Amino acid sequence: MSNETAVTNASQPAADTVRALSLEEKASLTSGADAWHLQGIEHAGIEGFMITDGPHGLRKALNDTSASINESAPATCFPPAAGLSSSWNPDLVRDVGKAMGEECIQEKVAVILGPGVNIKRNPLGGRCFEFWSEDPYLAGHEAAGIVEGVQSQGVGTSLKHFAANNQETDRLRVDALVSPRALREIYLPAFEYIVKTADPWTLMCAYNKINGVYASENRWLLTEVLRGEWGYDGMVMSDWGADHNRVAALNAGLNLQMPPDGTDAKVVAGVQGGALNEEQLDRMAAGVVELNAKTAPAMHRDGYHYDIAEHDDVARRAATESVVLLKNEGGLLPVSKSAHIAVIGEFARTPRYQGGGSSHITPNRLSSFLEAAALKGIDGTQLTFAPGFTLDDAPQDPALTRKAVEAATGSDIVLLFLGLPADAESEGFDRESIDLPAKQLELLDAVAAANANVAVVLSNGSVVSIAPWRDRAQAIVEGWLLGQAGGTGLADVLFGDADASGRLAQSIPLRIEDDPSMINWPGEEGHVEYGEGVYVGYRYYDSFGKEVAYPFGYGLSYTTFDISDIAATQSSGNIKTNTASVSAKVINTGGRDGYATVQVYVAPPKSKVSRPVHELKGFKKVFLKAGESATVSFDLDERAFAYWSTRLNDWHVEAGDYRIEVATSSRDIAGAAQVTLPGDGKKLPLNEWSTFGEWRVDPIGGPVIDSFMHNASSQDALALDDPAMRIFLESLPVNSLSMLVGVGSDEIISTLMSGYRKRFEAAGEVE
C-alpha cells in the first residue's frame, strides 16, 4: 500500500460528501465545533457528535469548556490502567471496554478518548497510572480489549498519545530524541498491534516533538508509518491544544484539530496559496465524515440505559483481578473472617481509586474497604479502625499514631493501608520520588513494633519504594488504583473470596536511581534523550543482572502451580520458517482454586546488535481448580524473534538458536526449550564502505575478497595468518585497504565490485 493510497481510504460516500462542500466548510470539518463536539454541517447531513475523555471510564463534561475537569456526568469508574494492566486478562479488559461503550450510548458520546498505551519509561511519570506497562507486548495485547469492547457497541475509541509521550515535564513542547530502533521496538509496537488487530476508529497524536518534529506535524509518523506501513484507515486527532500549525498538520495527516482555535481561515488561505493541496484537505475532512457515519447508529439509539449494578460488577471483577500479592510470609493472608482485625490507614475509609487530570471520573458508586468488610459481616466486634494519618502534607499527629498502636496491640492481624495521596501524582507533572510519605513510614514502624502480623495494602498509580520497609511487613499487597469498586475488590482478595491473581506490569526497583532512564530524566533545555535505547524496565534489569525489589510479571497466589512438559517447535515443522509453536503443562498443586499466569519470553542468540537478554512474547491467564491441570499453547510469529535493524530499516531475524522460556515472572523461569531458526536472510548489498569482515562472511563477497587478498598478500607479504592482522582487518572498510597493499583505492574498489557483481548475477540475486 502506498502512502498516498493509505491516506485516501475514507469511504467513497464520505469522499463524495466532502467534494460537494465549499472550501470553508471542508476546513471547518478539520477542527471541532467546541471543546467536546465535532463540527456538523446540517445541509450535508453531517452531525456534530460529542467526544469525551476516558480512558478508564466516561468523563462527560457538563459544559462546553475544557477547564471543568471534576465536573462530569456520573459514570462507572473502572480501574485505571495501572491496576487493570496487572490483571493480565485481555478478556476481562474487553468486558470493561464493552461496558464503557454502553455508557457512551446512554450519554450520546460518539468517541471515548482512550486507551493510552504510552510506555512507562520511568516510574516517576505523572501519568503512569493511565498507561499500561513498561512492556509494549503486554500493553498492546491488553489495551486492545478496550478498543474491541467499546467499538463492539458502535462507539469509537481514540488510541493515544501517538507517540513517545512518556513524561509530563515540559510535555507540550519537549523534543523526545529517540533512536529508530527504540521507537520501533519499545514505543510504537503497542500502537501497531492495536491498529492492525483492533482497528481503533481514531488515534490521538501527542503534544511533544519526536526527533525535532511535533507529533501533530510529523508526516513520517502519521502518514508513512501509521497509514502507509500499518494500513490504518481511521481518523487522527490532536491532543487538546497540540496542533500549532493547521496547514502543516493537515499535510502531515492530522484529520482533526481539538479544540478549535479559530484558524479555519488559515486552512482556506493555505489551499488558495498552494501550501495545502485541496485533495489532501478533502482526504482529511472525509475521515471526519466517515467517523460520523460509523458512530451515527449508536448515537441514534434513543432511550437506551445501561445497568449500573451490572457495570459495578464488572468494575469489581476488574479490581479483584488487578490486586497483586507481593509478599505473604507464613500464609498471613487471606484473613480469617473470625479474626480480630485492626484496620489502620485513612485509605481504608477514604479510598484512592483514580488519578488526577483529564481522566478524573465522577463515579456512580464508590466502595471503601471498611464498607466492603461490613458487607461481608465483619463488624465492629471484630474490626477496629484507626485512620493512622491524614492525607495532607501536615506532619504526623502523635495522637493518630497512638490510637493506631492501640488498635494494633492485641489484634490477630493488622491491615495497614498506605499509599500516595491524590496530589502526589497526576496529569500535568511528574513525581520527584518513589518514596511513600515519611509520616506513613513512621506509622508503619510504630505499628510493626506493636504487632508482628502486619499486612501492608498499597494505593498508588505507579510504583513506590518497598525495599526499605518490606522487612517490617509480613505481607504486602499492591492495590494500585482500583476504580470505584476497589474497596470491594480488595476485600474479596484479602478475605480469600477470590484468589490473588494480579501480576506486575511494571518492575519495582530497589531505588529510583536504578532506573536506566534516570541519567536523562526528565531532560534539559527543551529536549530529552532516550539514551537507554531499548533497555526499558526489565529489559535493563534482567540483561545487566540488576537486583530489583519485585520483577516484572511477578505476583503470588493463594495456591501453588507447577509448570512442566515445555516444548517448542518451528511452526508446521517447516524448517524454513521463522515462527514457532510453544506448549507447556500447568497444574494447580495447591489446595485452593486459582489463576496461573503463564508467560513466554524469547531469548535471542548472540547477535550483531545489543539485544535484551529476553523479551515477553506471549502470556495466558488460566483458571484452575485445586488439582486441575491444563496445557497452554502459544504461537510465536516472526516478529517475536526480530529486532529492528537501523541499517536495513526493517525488522530482521538472525539465524541461530533461540531459547524460549516459560515463566511466572521475568526472573522466575520454570523451564525452557530451544528452536533453531534459519533467519530471514535480509542483508544489504556490499559496497566500498563494507568492512573486510563483512565481505569475508558474505557468501558472494567472501570468495571475491579472499581472491583479492590472496593476490595482494603474495605481492606485499601481508601476514594474513597473523591473528593481530586479522583483527585489524576485520573492521577496516575495503576502500581503506590501499594503506596495506600497493594498489590504489579506486583500483581496489573496481576489482572487488566487478567480481561481486559477476557472482551476484551468477547466483541469480537481484540487487
pLDDT band at 3 (very low <50, low <70, confident <90, very high): very low
How far is it, in rounded angstroms, from Cα 42 to Cα 20?
13
Q: How confident is the model at residue 379 (pLDDT cuts 50, 70, 90)?
A: confident
Asked, for residue 30, whether it belongs to a domain, the answer is no
- Residue 410, pLDDT > 50, answer yes
Mean pLDDT value of segment 76-88: 98
What pLDDT score does 303 carry?
95
Contact 599, 664 (CB under 8 A): yes
Sign of CA dihedral 36, 41, 42, 47: negative
Q: Which of 496, 527, 550 is the last residue of a domain?
A: 550
- How distant, in Å, are the alpha carbons of 9, 371, 559 from that of 704? 49, 80, 64
Residue where a domain terminates, one of 649, 677, 705: 677
pLDDT at 604 over 90: yes
Judge contact between 92 and 318, C-beta under 8 A. yes
Contact 171, 522 (CB under 8 A): no
Q: At residue 332, what are phi and psi to the nearest 5 degrees?
A: -60, -35
- What are the grid coordinates assigned to 749, written together? 574498489
Residues 381 and 429 in one domain: yes
- Residue 377 sits in a domain whose CATH number is 3.40.50.1700
CATH of the domain at 601: 2.60.40.10
Question: Is residue 367 pLDDT above 70, yes or no?
Answer: yes
Q: Cα(first)–Cα(last) distance of the chain, in Å?
A: 22
- Asked whether residue 704 falls in the same domain as residue 595, the answer is no
Q: Give the range among 267-276, 467-476, 675-684, 707-716 with minimum mean pLDDT.
A: 707-716
Residue 264 has pLDDT above 50, yes or no: yes
* 43 found inside a domain: no
* 367 and 316 within one domain: yes
pLDDT tens-digit map of 649-675: 999 999 999 999 999 999 999 999 999
Report whether the peptide linkage leading into residue 79 is cis, meaning its omega lies within 30 degrees of zero.
no
Are residues 130 and 197 part of one domain? yes
Lowest mean pLDDT among 296-310, 435-449, 710-724: 710-724
243 has pLDDT over 80: yes
Residue 643 in this model has a pLDDT that exceeds 60: yes
- Measured torsion, CA atoms of residues 440, 441, 446, 448, in degrees rounded to the nearest 10: 110
Reference 503, options 360, 322, 285; nearest CA is 322
Percent of the chain past pLDDT 70, that is, above it, reads 96
Classify residue 433: in a domain, yes or no. Answer: yes
Calculate what percentage of the chain has a pLDDT beyond 90.
Answer: 87
Confidence of residue 715 (pLDDT cuts 50, 70, 90): low
Active-site residue (options: 239, 282, 312, 698): 239
- Confidence check: pLDDT of 109 > 60: yes
Residue 731 identity: S
Residue predicted with more confidence, 185 or 715:
185
Our CA angle for 425, 428, 434, nearest 5°, is 30
pLDDT at 70: 75
Instruction: Kindly state whether residues 588 and 708 are assigned to the same domain.
Output: no
What's the confidence (pLDDT) of residue 728? 85
Are 395 and 513 in the same domain?
Answer: yes
Mean pLDDT value of segment 133-159? 98
Rounded to whole angstroms, the Cα distance separating 54 from 100 reads 9
Question: Distance (Å, rounded) from C-alpha 538 to C-alpha 266?
Answer: 47
112-125 average pLDDT score: 98
Q: Is 178 buried (19+), middle (13-18) or exposed (0-12) by CB count in 10 A?
A: buried
| pLDDT of 157 higher than 70 | yes
**Is 239 one of the annotated active-site residues of the chain?**
yes
For residues 105 and 245, membership in a common domain is answered with: yes
Confidence of residue 1 (pLDDT cuts 50, 70, 90): very low
Return the pLDDT at 716.
59
Over residues 471-527, the pLDDT tens digits come to: 999 999 999 999 999 999 999 999 999 999 999 999 999 999 999 999 999 999 999
The residue segments making up the domain with residue 579 are: 561-677
Tell me: do 515 and 595 sit in the same domain: no
pLDDT of residue 221: 98
Shortest CA distance to 87 belongs to which of 553, 548, 475? 553
* Lookup: cell for 310: 451490572
> In CATH, what number is assigned to the domain containing residue 181?
3.20.20.300
Q: How confident is the model at residue 745 (pLDDT cuts 50, 70, 90)?
A: confident
pLDDT of residue 605: 97
Domain count, the chain: 4
State pTM to two decimals. 0.95
Asked which of 492, 517, 550 is the last residue of a domain, the reply is 550
Does 127 lie in the same domain as 80?
A: yes
| 287 domain residue, yes or no | no
Q: Is residue 24 part of a domain?
A: no
- Does the residue 12 lie in any domain? no
Task: Using DSSP bridges, classify how beta strands 656-663 and 594-603 pair: parallel, antiparallel or unpaired.
Answer: antiparallel
pLDDT for residue 699 is more than 60:
yes
Averaged over 96-124, what is the pLDDT? 98
Contacts of 521 (CB under 8 A, 6+ apart): 122, 124, 167, 515, 528
pLDDT mean across residues, the chain:
94
**What pLDDT does residue 761 have?**
82
Crossing angle (nearest 10°) for helices 136-151 and 90-106:
40
Q: Which of 46-60, 145-159, 746-760 has the lowest mean pLDDT?
A: 746-760
* 333 lies in some domain: yes
Average pLDDT of span 411-420: 98
574 in the same domain as 432: no
Residue 632 has pLDDT above 50, yes or no: yes
Identify whether residues 594 and 473 lie together within a single domain: no
In terms of domains, do 375 and 495 share one? Answer: yes
In a domain, 301, yes or no: no
* Interatomic CA distance for residues 356 and 359, integer angstroms: 7
- Rounded distance, CA 531 to CA 535, Å? 9
Task: Name the strands in the sheet holding 629-636, side by side, starting at the edge strand that comes first in the sequence.
Answer: 561-570, 580-588, 629-636
